[in-house]
Amino acid sequence: MTKTTGGKRRRAQPPQRSGGLPAVARKSWPVALATLLLLALAIPAAFLMAPGFLGPEPPATAPAPPAWQQAPATVASPQGLAALQPSAPVPAATAVTAQVDPALQTESGGTFTGVVQDALTGQVLYDRGGTENRVPASNLKLLTAVAALRTLGPDHRFSTQVVPGPDPGQVVLVGGGDVLLAAGESRPQQTMGHAGLATLAARTVEALQAAGTTGAVKVLLDDSLFSGPALNPAWQAGDVEAGEVAPLYPLALNAARFDPAVTTGPRPQDAAMVAAEEFAARLRAAGAGAGLTVAAGVERSPAAGRAAVPHAGAGPSAPALPPAVLAKVDSATVAEQVDLMLQVSDNYLAETMGRMAAVASGLPGSGEAAAAAVSAQLAAAGISMDGLKLLDVCGLAMENRVSARQLTEVVRAITTGADTRLRAALDGFPVAGLTGTLDTRYGNAATSGGAGLVRAKTGTLNTVLALSGYVVDADGRLLVFSFVGNGLTPGAAGNKEALDRAATALAGCGCR
């Protein structure tokens, strides 16, 4: 390139070098540095700003929780006995006696009898006066459970029905053996209150509306399913006054309690009428918006016994009702009621079960027939009847007589006998230190080894204590046992602990 200066032409000179770099390079170096610095700052900034444009980075896959924190794939098996191993060693009788005898000692008088058997073979491993006829107290309920399960069946339910009355404008509430009724809505997940009178009233209103019924309605009561004395003559007046039992009727609220949460003190003396009056009140409330009025007062029906109530449907999905029945509600199953009876030792429920077993056997629904039905079912189940004497079926009567050997045979029939219907009673045995009438026991150093392992029905009267049940010993062998104390000093704490010590000895027994 040629430049002109002052009229003269001069060839352009090449740029001079300084330090080996061209001048242009010297001038662009700061720019390059700045560019590099900006890039160095921009790259981290880009990583920081990118989530704002690209969204959050997907989280890393979390490891699966351990097995015990995962939701179960299947429903757990019902509570009961695991499969027994016949190969487990049978304890030696001498070793069992050496463990149980020192534990089974009375305090301040009286005597204990007892029997321990191997459940699978029936071999007697311990026997102290096992065939003596004793007052069994509430251990008698085990016999009643067997009779109810054999005659009625574990899945049977009792119906409380409403049928048309003998005259127009009348409805009859018919008791069918459910004494666990609730005043309010049915509670299908519970045993007590499984069937509710408010639900029965609502269904009755629906039926009356469908039939075109309007105006006044009169409620009558049919409680004729039970017969004979409502109170057993063998019961002591003090027990009745204390609320241990009440007059028996084929329908009642809360096992003939004013409040299901209060299980001591006075009880209704006419539980059927109390339930009928509650039903009338619920019907009055339910019918108010349907053009129905309910007359005050409830009377017993002159046409008692017209409804066939001993057998009920299977529940909400039962077939359509016969035309004669306006509405009904069904109880919890017999199996569920038997379990409740054993867990809390409910005398009223036990007597009801005995009477319903009698009705199912074709006998009257009386206390005397209940005792006869229980005895007959025990004999049919192969239980020895020697010296057996039943004055009631709940165990309150002091004239009852059952031996420890008979009680162990009953427990053995439930746990391992040929009649599998009796397995339904297994869950009814209270668990030591955890449930039912054993929930506050097995808490000291002498008995804590049996907590959670011993399962047994308790029995308590003033001078009587009993404990009959089953336990798997330390070697995996199922043992059944019964210990019965008579003539004991009332209130002597050592007697109840003696029973628990003896059962705990069996739980820890590696008796070979």
Distance CA 494, CA 198 (A): 48
Q: Quick one: tokens of 461?
A: 């009267």
Least Cα distance to 384 among 124, 20, 131, 47 occurs for 131
Q: Which of 141, 218, 457, 496 is catalytic?
A: 141
Statement to judge: residues 221 and 174 lie in one domain: yes
One DSSP character per residue, 377-388 reads HHHHTT---TT-
Contact 350, 393 (CB under 8 A): yes
With respect to residue 34, please indicate whether it lies within any of the assigned structural domains. Answer: no
**Which pLDDT does position 299 carry in this prediction?**
95
Give the single-character DSSP code of 244. S
Angle between helices 347-360 and 141-151 (to 10 degrees): 40
Statement to judge: residues 323 and 341 lie in one domain: no
Distance CA 191, CA 194 (A): 5
Q: How many CB atoms lie within 10 A of CB 146?
A: 27
Statement to judge: residues 291 and 342 lie in one domain: no
**Which pLDDT does position 95 carry in this prediction?**
96
With respect to residue 12, please indicate whether it lies within any of the assigned structural domains. Answer: no
Distances (CA, A) of 72 to 1, 61, 76: 91, 22, 8
- Given a cut of 70, the residues of the chain with pLDDT beneath it are 1-83, 303-323
**Which pLDDT does position 443 carry in this prediction?**
95
Give the single-character DSSP code of 315. S
**Which pLDDT does position 195 carry in this prediction?**
98
With respect to residue 55, please indicate whether it lies within any of the assigned structural domains. Answer: no
- The one-letter amino acid code at 437 reads T
Name every residue whose Cβ is closer than 8 Å to that of residue 134 and which is 6 or more positions away in sequence. Answer: 113, 401, 402, 403, 404, 464, 466, 484, 486
Q: How many CB atoms lie within 10 A of CB 163?
A: 24
**Which pLDDT does position 103 carry in this prediction?**
96
**Which pLDDT does position 83 carry in this prediction?**
67
Distances (CA, A) of 83 to 476, 477, 478: 10, 11, 10
Q: What is the CATH number of the domain that holds 389?
A: 3.40.710.10
Statement to judge: residues 144 and 99 lie in one domain: yes
Long-range contacts of 85-88 (CB under 8 A, 24+ apart): 85/476, 86/120, 88/475, 88/476, 88/477
With respect to residue 396, please indicate whether it lies within any of the assigned structural domains. Answer: yes
**Which pLDDT does position 302 carry in this prediction?**
82
**Which pLDDT does position 511 carry in this prediction?**
84
Q: Which of 331, 345, 366, 482 is catalytic?
A: 345
With respect to residue 478, please indicate whether it lies within any of the assigned structural domains. Answer: yes
Statement to judge: residues 195 and 286 lie in one domain: yes
Contact 412, 122 (CB under 8 A): yes
Domain extent for 493: 93-152+337-351+362-507
With respect to residue 326, please indicate whether it lies within any of the assigned structural domains. Answer: yes
Statement to judge: residues 371 and 270 lie in one domain: no
**Which pLDDT does position 82 carry in this prediction?**
59
Statement to judge: residues 284 and 189 lie in one domain: yes
With respect to residue 20, please indicate whether it lies within any of the assigned structural domains. Answer: no
Report the chain's C-alpha Rg in angstroms: 39
One DSSP character per residue, 401-435 reads BB-HHHHHHHHHHHHHSS-GGGGGGGGGSPBTTTS
Count of domains in the chain? 2
Distance CA 383, CA 358 (A): 19
Statement to judge: residues 125 and 176 lie in one domain: no
Statement to judge: residues 195 and 310 lie in one domain: yes
With respect to residue 30, please indicate whether it lies within any of the assigned structural domains. Answer: no
Distance CA 486, CA 504 (A): 21
Contact 252, 274 (CB under 8 A): yes
Distance CA 257, CA 252 (A): 8
Statement to judge: residues 137 and 171 lie in one domain: no
Distance CA 37, CA 30 (A): 10
Measured in whole angstroms, how far is the alpha carbon of residue 39 from the centre of its chain?
74
User: What confidence tens digit (pLDDT) does each residue in 412-455 have?
Assistant: 999 999 999 999 999 999 999 999 999 999 999 999 999 999 99
Name every residue whose Cβ is closer than 8 Å to that of residue 316 and which is 6 or more positions away in sequence. Answer: 188
Distances (CA, A) of 357 to 126, 201, 248: 33, 28, 15
Contact 145, 419 (CB under 8 A): no
Q: Which residues in 266-402 belong to E strands, given as ranges? A: 292-294, 299-300, 327-330
Distance CA 511, CA 177 (A): 47
Residues in the chain: 512
Q: Which residues in 345-502 belong to E strands, given as ranges? A: 455-461, 464-472, 478-486
**Which pLDDT does position 192 carry in this prediction?**
98
Active-site annotation holds for 141: yes
Statement to judge: residues 297 and 425 lie in one domain: no
pTM of the model: 0.82
**Which pLDDT does position 49 carry in this prediction?**
43
Please calculate the CA angle 190-194-198 and round it to the nearest 5 degrees: 130
Q: Quick one: tokens of 286?
A: 């339910």
Name every residue whose Cβ is closer than 8 Å to that of residue 17 and which is 6 or more positions away in sequence. Answer: 23
Statement to judge: residues 279 and 341 lie in one domain: no
